[in-house]
């Protein structure tokens, strides 16, 4: 995530307001899942925690925020 936010595509291809919004959402993801090893992303069981978090965000902040 941090590499993406430092990338030329992020810095030059996105509007400043879009960058700000993406950063806000990416920091929320990092807060929730930042200690998860990258290798875990290959495990099909990781989908359940992601979906549970997504559903919680949808309930608290709305579907658009969750997506």
Instruction: Quickly count: other Cβ atoms within 10 Å of residue 25's Cβ.
Output: 13
Instruction: Name residues whose C-beta falls within 8 Å of residue 53's C-beta, 6 or more positions apart in sequence.
Output: 32, 33
Q: Can you give the residue ranges of every domain in the chain?
A: 1-35, 37-67
Q: Which tokens sit at 59? A: 């309930």
Whether residue 24 contacts residue 33, with contact meaning beta carbons closer than 8 Å, is answered with no
Interval 17-38: pLDDT, tens: 999 999 999 999 999 999 999 8
Please give the Cα distance from 4 to 62 (Å, whole number).
26
Which contiguous run of DSSP H or E holds residue 43? none
pLDDT at 20: 96
Q: What is the pTM of this model?
A: 0.76
């Amino acid at each position: 995530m941090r590499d993406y936010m430092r990338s030329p595509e992020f810095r030059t291809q996105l509007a400043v307001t879009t960058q700000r919004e993406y950063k806000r959402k990416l920091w929320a993801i990092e807060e929730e899942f930042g200690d998860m090893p990258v290798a875990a992303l290959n495990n099909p069981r990781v989908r359940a925690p992601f979906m549970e978090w997504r559903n919680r965000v949808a309930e608290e902040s709305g579907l658009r925020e969750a997506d």
